[in-house]
Structure formats: structure tokens, C-alpha cells
Structure 1
Amino acid sequence: MAYKDGPMTEAMYYILLSLLRPNHGYQLMQSVNEVSDGRIKMGPGTLYGILSRMEKNALIVLIEKESTKKTYKLTKEGRKALNKEFDRLNAMVEDTVRELEGGK
């Protein structure tokens, strides 16, 4: 699931969105649930697998480690990726609205 300028999974998008402010594991799972209005419920295995890949892809960085608590934040590249994905999703919504209104 390496991100290379392709579409993100929903889980990736919401993790990046939730990392607009530095967050740690448990808090991040709650934040994803809240930000997604309950549509995304993520367990620790899924979360830490995605975080690991995002860290390898330089989208996020570990900024603090206390015992088992790891706090992450977005990198500049991560913010760019989030903005690019937002623009892609927004364009899809605009295309859909246009077609639903009769293809104007």
C-alpha cells in the first residue's frame, strides 16, 4: 500500500487528516472515528501497519516516543499528499454533481 501519487485508501486519508495536529496511537484511532463521523473504525493492527508505511514514504514522522506511546505528525510531503487527495476527491464530487444535474 505504498503511496506514490495514486489514490489513497479511505483509511490513509483519514489518518493524514487526523494528523494535521500531532497525535499518538489510541488518540489517533479515536480522532479517525470522529473525523470520519463514525464511518472508519480502526484497530491498532491496521493503524500501525498504515503508520509504518506512511513513515517509510516520508508522509509522517515520529516526533516523540514515551514507553509504548508514539506521537506522529505530518511532514511537508504528507500535507502535500493530503491536499492532492482532497483535490482529487473534490473533483470527483464536482463531476458527479454536474452529471446529476444533467451533464452541464
Structure 2
Amino acid sequence: MDFNQAKEKLYRLLEDNPSLAIQEAKKLSDNHNLQLLKGAILIDAGAAIKSHMDVVKGVEIIEQDSSQIPDNQPILYNLANGYHALATTIVLRCPEWYKVTYHNRLKSKNTILWCG
């Protein structure tokens, strides 16, 4: 499956069945562009179903690629989106949630500012 086919399929699944989108994204090859797509899907679908571990994996993929290609706007956008999803998918039952998620929220904000 080429990049455009994979992108169309995964974003359609993301809308209809985020869990299945995650399963399918995990099957993508190690091709650079497909890995970026995989990271983005893991972040977006993981955020949709509140799967913190999938978001973590997606952020790891995007962070790795952002270090290789700095200043790439779409990659930085996905990275900022991932940091935000890390902060919103963590499950806390305490009033300190704001402190616990501060680092990821700050990274998201700084990445967006750097991007713009």
C-alpha cells in the first residue's frame, strides 16, 4: 500500500473506528513517510479513545523524525498535537492533574509557537 492509499484508509478509519485505525497503523512498514503517518494516527486515534499508551508511541515516532528534520511545519504540528494529547489522555483522580500535565502542555505550546 502506498502512502496516499494508507493515509486515505487510516483517516477514514479514524473517523469511524479509532481503535481499528490504531490497529491498522501499527501494521505500517518502516518507510519514513509511513512512520510519520503512523505517529499521527496513533496520536489522533489514541486521543479520541483516551489511549495514553498509543499517544506515547505516536509522540515517540514523531519526536524521532522531528529531530532528523527540524523546522518541518507538519511534523511540528503533529508533535505539538501529540504533547497536548499526552496531557489530556493521562488519567488522574487528583487535584494535582494540572501540575502533573504541565510539562506536556508547555511542550505543546512551545512547539506551536516555534512552528509559527
Q: TM-score, with normalisation over the residues of structure 2?
A: 0.29
Larger RCO, structure (CA 8 Å, separation 6 or more): 1
More helix by share: 2
